[in-house]
Amino acid sequence: MSKCSQCGVCCRLFLINLSEEEYRSGRYDTMFDEFVSDFEEAEMVGANILAQKEDNSCIYLKDKKCSIHNFRPQSCKNFFCDSDNLQFQSMIKKIKDYKNEKA
């Protein structure tokens, strides 16, 4: 079973879409949340995406680690850098490239 290494690179490179349940929970800060009132509208305008800092990293990335790791969104739980799932291969390549650039 894969385990997150908590390197935080995915939190710097990718936008996180919340499910309807996660969005409606009010547990997460999202983009443009002050402008929309329902999930369908939020999906259309990207308001169901986790908020970002000025450097475009996830707002919950603190000291290079996920500050909400134990209750992170399902899309974050589904992704692992060492996954062999084909749907994640382009993301994994971006992470490897990022790490190689920073090395």
* pLDDT recorded at residue 6: 72
* pLDDT recorded at residue 71: 93
- β 61-62/65-66 pair status: antiparallel
* pLDDT recorded at residue 2: 63
**Cα–Cα distance between 71 and 83 in angstroms, integer?**
20
Neighbours of 7 (CB within 10 A): 15
Extents of the domains making up the chain: 9-102
Strand partners, 50: 30
Average pLDDT per 10 consecutive residues for the chain, totaling 103 residues:
75 92 91 78 84 94 91 90 87 91 82
